[in-house]
Amino acid sequence: MTRSWWGWGEVGQAVTGEEAASLVARAAALLPDHDFTPHDPPDPASLDLPAPRVAVPPRLRAVASTEATDRLAHARGKAFRDVVRNLEGVVGPLPDVVLRPRDDDEVAAVLEWCSGEDVAVVPYGGGSSVVGGVEPRVDGPAVTLDLGRLDRVLEVDATSRAARVQGGVLGPHLEDQLRPHGLTLRHFPQSFEFSTLGGWLATRAGGHFATLHTHIDDLTESVRVVTPAGVAESRRLPGSGAGPSPDRLFLGSEGTLGVITEAWVRLQERPRWRRTASVAFASYEQAVDATRAIAQSGLHPSNCRLLDPAEAFLNAGSSSGAVLVLGFESADHPVDDALARALVIAAEHGGEASTQEPGDASGAAASWRSSFIRMPYQRDAMARRSMVVETFETACTWDRFPALHAAVTAAAQEAAGRVCGAAVVTCRFTHVYPDGPAPYYGVYAPGRWGALVEQWDEVKASVSRAIVDNGGTITHHHAVGRDHRPWYDEQRPDAFAAALSAAKSVLDPAGILNPGVLLDAGRRGRLDP
Amino acid sequence: MTRSWWGWGEVGQAVTGEEAASLVARAAALLPDHDFTPHDPPDPASLDLPAPRVAVPPRLRAVASTEATDRLAHARGKAFRDVVRNLEGVVGPLPDVVLRPRDDDEVAAVLEWCSGEDVAVVPYGGGSSVVGGVEPRVDGPAVTLDLGRLDRVLEVDATSRAARVQGGVLGPHLEDQLRPHGLTLRHFPQSFEFSTLGGWLATRAGGHFATLHTHIDDLTESVRVVTPAGVAESRRLPGSGAGPSPDRLFLGSEGTLGVITEAWVRLQERPRWRRTASVAFASYEQAVDATRAIAQSGLHPSNCRLLDPAEAFLNAGSSSGAVLVLGFESADHPVDDALARALVIAAEHGGEASTQEPGDASGAAASWRSSFIRMPYQRDAMARRSMVVETFETACTWDRFPALHAAVTAAAQEAAGRVCGAAVVTCRFTHVYPDGPAPYYGVYAPGRWGALVEQWDEVKASVSRAIVDNGGTITHHHAVGRDHRPWYDEQRPDAFAAALSAAKSVLDPAGILNPGVLLDAGRRGRLDP
């Protein structure tokens, strides 16, 4: 497969032909005056890259690349603002070198060299960050540490259903290696094909399970982290109460404390029983109440995604109001009764269910699923046509959701209306908990070529303000990176920030690891792109 | 109620009369030569206490006590070695003053005063530590900060099913305050009556749920911690991926980083449907396999406690081999099918089930439950009669359990045999996970009055060595305190120890908070009792 250097995923999967025409036709119906002329990405060879500012020491030369497309492809993540800057041919902060270590010793050698020479190190998994997490936005030289060669399952413990896995493995390759053992991690973020286990751990990624074990945190038995101060490897344990959890310091550390090169993860058998249903609600408020009741029922659906009417219309082809997509799965026992009970709860709140037989690919649930995988490619296609298309997400307690949702929607509408003239704002719950939902918003607005990044940044600042002011988290599973820093800093208790900073000062005394992410970068960093 | 100053729980609940006679008769049948003469606790007034070495500043005098029984009662936790030293009249490290703050400002004032005067502060909830966690084993003056006055539920959010609760509330008083709202925390450690929410959080306590949400960690929405460097209060969130979890640094910090004065905790409705069963197994190996299969089934029993034959015989009155106590509960739906499926799995591994009708108090499961509550009182009764009676616990992955169990049992038998002449060693699983069990061991051995502490300490060192050498954790839910330090230090990654120590240096710059717990105490602390 050939990865796109400028946009999402695989080159061969990009939106073209009929799919593009259909997208444009649907958008043009709403925006008759918009200029949908597609802008092509520049030829990387035509871009003027600064020469690398560092000389790689001999022992690392075999794993170093200063090739232009390599440096460009590693310079940014895959947020809307990243893709647009790539399309515009804007050369921003670039890694001077891309390093692809083959083992922990080479990772340690990179950290030692960079600590000594004061070179920033950006750990890089699949590069799917949407928060500026892999962009070397630092003063002075920087290298990107691409973990892609650490891609093996090293050990499988079928008795405990766990595996020791290297951090650089991409989702599909991980599952391929587990399949012969009859086991699966079943962690399927939207970025699954283009993100790595190490990246999931470093960013506390959210998987496809809508309830119960939502974050990769819950699937983690132990981690191995190479830090400039040495290797930290925790003990494989199903549960422990021995002091603060060592793993939980590294989970979510986003490459600022060390490089996660291995982990023991908890596996499952493949599900043998599955049932799905869609439930339509005329009232969004009632749909929210139904979703809350199901989240609090102890039924633990694997899927429990509430699409608001706009999301249901745009991405599931349903015009009957809000749609709750429900799914249950088990490797051990039938789940018909669980689904039936959830549908009773939904009906008590005015929901009208349509269940699917296993394997049935029709209906709102199925069309939403297939649309889900295409969304990032479609985002790129529309970005090329001067549309602002981006998402953001949060989580809050149920009592605060109505006010947060109203404020966030209003902020998005107001800001997008001001800078773009109009906008469609959609919402779905990606995950739900007994005490609150994780709402995920989409914004679709007509932009101006050349101004797209500034337009989106205004909307983003406005909705982030509303999220933080209304008790939400600045991110449920997209991570903090550099782009979420101002609001993360507000949300984070100051005393914890001080503790984290102190921890970093002993693990990364030279301050080389992903400067500017989570914490101020000291003398080296800058927050502006 | 009157709390025992020297032993477990309430004075009125102590073992006397028939219960004592029956215990002695059963033990004497096995140990005909043992001297069961009961030793009475000393009169606290007869003990020679050193005078307090600190003068409490005026603003804290109203909440300070230097009364002898207060100082004695706060000097130790409730481990076997604590109770024995109390019974022997051994005056060890004592707090100079016991302080009972009425609000966060008074907590902060204590920390400020003690930081300035270099006085150690031992945060104290219910005082049920069994790991030396509340014993002021430090050089120089020390005060105990008893949080017992912070005992209120401050706010209930019925929509999100959560409550804001002060840290010093004891289990029953917490549930009393939640009951009018139709909600419950359902966190029932064995110490429930005599331990506090703040203590549970600070020690990552395990509750009665045998699967899924086993530790208090999972029931925590946010915490408020008063540190010498200021107050850290995290945001109420059902889930978040914004950096490393702030809460997870304070959960398990055992009073070394700050004082947990409040938390938002996740509540549930009271269960309406319950089913229980006992399953007998002739083969312990098959019983373990059955328990593993149920733990991996996704059925999530609320109770899933495997008693080995010795435990089943001693504490559940069953002589039919190993007994698996199973229970399911729900506030939303019947659980008959879940129990039926679990019993099918058990039967596939040779288990013979006897189910109970709801409310039935007969059978092994019911007798084990009632025995569970009495165990600490019985431990005290036997300690008074020169018996070594103590427990220890761990967790490990399933693949390692057979070797760990064999090594731990052998170490306990060998050490107890050497120092006591003989021993009964029992094992039960208190909690089980898809990837491993949390085994909990009991040791019953004839001791010598005056040598009991040394005898137990030898056994403890031996089994702790076996646990750590065989991949277990030194504690699944009893915490680290001072007594587990040597093995905790081995288990903990060095880089994490350095990070934790750095975090402490900014949160508690004077190093006054519970010196010697989790981390070396610097110039002040000593590890020897």
Give the DSSP H or E segment for B22.
helix B17-30
- For chain A, the structural domain boundaries read 11-146
Interface check A391 vs B, CB under 8 A = no
Q: Hey, is the C-beta of A32 within 8 angstroms of any chain B C-beta?
A: no
The domain made up of A11-146 has a fold known as: 3.30.43
Strand partners of residue B404 = none
Q: What tokens were used for A521?
A: 């970068």
Residues of A in contact with B220 (CB under 8 A): none
- Per-residue pLDDT at B53: 97
SS3 B196: strand
Whole-angstrom Cα distance, residue A203 to residue A206?
9
Interface contact A395-B245, CB threshold 8 A = no
Q: Is there a contact between B211 and A446 (Cβ–Cβ < 8 Å)?
A: no
Structure tokens at B479: 């915490």
By the CB < 8 Å criterion, does A344 face chain B? no
Residue that wins the pLDDT comparison between A356 and B397? B397
CB-based contact B241 A206, cutoff 8 Å: yes
Distance, in Å, from the CA atom of A12 to the CA atom of A32, rounded to the nearest integer, reads 30
d(CA A52, CA B78): 64
**Nearest Cα to A393, choosing from A472, A488, A326, A454?**
A472
Q: What is the distance between the terminal CA atoms of chain A, rounded to a whole angstrom?
A: 30
List the 281-340 stretch of B: residues with Cβ below 8 A of A: 292, 296-300, 330-333, 337
The shortest CB-CB distance from B480 to any of A162, A242, A476 is to A242
Cβ distance A243 to B506 less than 8 Å, yes or no, reads no
Q: Does A435 touch chain B (CB under 8 A)?
A: yes
Neighbour order of strands in the sheet with A162-166: A153-157, A162-166, A259-266, A220-227, A230-233
User: B228 in contact with A at a CB cutoff of 8 Å?
Assistant: no
Alpha-carbon gap, residue A135 to A481, rounded angstroms? 9
Residue A204: beta bridge partners?
none
User: What residue in A sits closest to B468 (Cα-Cα)?
Assistant: A235
Instruction: Compute the count of residue pairs across chains A and B with CB atoms less than 8 Å apart.
Output: 287
Nearest-angstrom CA–CA distance, B400 and A443:
50
ipTM of the complex: 0.96
What is the average pLDDT across B289-305?
98
Who contacts A26 (Cβ-Cβ below 8 Å, separation ≥6)? none
pLDDT at B1: 78
* Chain B CA closest to residue A254: B243
Closest CA to B437 of B406, B393, B385, B474: B393
Q: How confident is the model at residue B526 (pLDDT cuts 50, 70, 90)?
A: very low
More confident residue, B194 or A316: B194
Name every chain A residue with its beta carbon within 8 A of the beta carbon of B438.
238-239
What is the distance between the alpha carbons of residues B133 and B440, in angstroms, rounded to a whole number?
20
Residue for token pair 């559940």:
B316
Calculate ∠ Cα A488-A494-A496, nearest 5°: 90
Give the DSSP letter of residue A215.
Answer: B
Amino acid at B107: V
Inter-chain residue contact A246 with B297, CB threshold 8 Å: no
- The predicted structure's pLDDT at residue B369: 72
| The CA-based dihedral angle spanning residues A88, A199, A526, A145, taken in that order and rounded to the nearest 10 degrees | -90
Q: Is B499 on the interface with A (CB under 8 A)?
A: yes
Mean pLDDT on B266-280: 96
> What pLDDT, on the 0 to 100 scale, is given for residue A362?
65
For B372-418, the DSSP string reads: HHHHHHHHHHHHTTTEEEEEEE----GGGHHHHHHHHHHHHHHHHHH
Q: Is B154 helix (H, G, I), strand (E, B) or coil?
A: strand
Using a CB-CB cut-off of 8 Å, the residues of chain A touching B245 are 248, 251-252
DSSP state of B206: B
CA distance A384 to A38: 5
Query: Which residues of chain A have a CB within 8 Å of the CB of B297?
Result: 332-333
Residue in A closest to B244 by C-alpha: A252
Chain A residue closest to B398 (CA)? A160
C-alpha closest to that of B249 among A482, A222, A198, A251: A251
Nearest CA in chain A to B210: A239
Strand-pairing partners, residue B260, are B225
Sign of the dihedral defined by the CA atoms of residues A165, A169, A175, A178, in that order = negative
The DSSP-derived string for B445-465 is EE--TTTHHHHHHHHHHHHHH
Does residue B368 carry a pLDDT above 50?
yes
Pairwise CB contact (< 8 Å): A341 & B333: yes
Contact A226, A205 (CB under 8 A): no
Task: Report in angstroms the alpha-carbon separations of B201 from A316, A346, B508.
Answer: 43, 35, 19
DSSP β-ladder status, B322-330 and B303-307:
antiparallel
Compute the nearest-CA separation of A234 from chain B (Å): 6
Contact: A254, B237; criterion CB under 8 Å: no
Min distance A163 CA to chain B CA atoms (Å) = 11
A475 interfaces chain B, CB cutoff of 8 Å: yes
* Strand order across the A97-99 sheet: A64-65, A97-99, A142-146, A120-124
CB atoms within 10 A of CB B518: 28
Whether residue A397 and residue B341 make contact (CB cut-off 8 A), yes or no, is: no
Residue B260 has pLDDT above 90, yes or no: yes
Task: Measure A161 CA to nearest chain B CA, in Å.
Answer: 6
Distances, alpha carbon B522 to alpha carbons B118, B120, B123, B139, B496, in Å: 12, 12, 18, 11, 18
- Mean pLDDT value across residues B443-456: 98
Beta-sheet pairing, B436-446 with A120-124: unpaired
Taking all residues of chain B, what is their mean pLDDT, rounded to a whole number? 95
Residue with tokens 């399952």: A153
Our CA-based measurement puts residue B332 at a distance from the nearest CA of chain A, in whole angstroms, of 6
| Contact residues, chain A, for B244 at CB < 8 Å | 248-253, 500
pLDDT of residue A522: 63
> Contact A237/B331, CB-based, under 8 Å?
no
Please give the pLDDT value at position A87.
Answer: 98
In the prediction, which pLDDT does B363 show? 72
3-state secondary structure of B123: strand
CB < 8 Å to A292, chain B:
159
Q: How far apart are CA B424 and CA A356, in angstroms?
A: 57
Q: What is the mean pLDDT of each run of 10 residues along chain A (529 residues)?
A: 93 95 94 96 94 97 96 97 97 97 98 98 98 96 98 98 98 98 96 97 96 96 98 98 98 98 97 96 98 98 96 85 96 98 98 77 70 91 98 98 98 97 96 98 98 98 98 98 98 97 97 97 49
Interval B501-508 mean pLDDT: 97
Q: What is the pLDDT of residue B525?
A: 44
Min Cα separation A266/chain B (Å): 7
Indicate the SS3 state at residue A110. helix
Count Cβ atoms within 10 A of the Cβ of residue B313 and give its class: 0-12 exposed, 13-18 middle, 19 or more buried: middle
Neighbours of B254 (CB within 10 A): 28
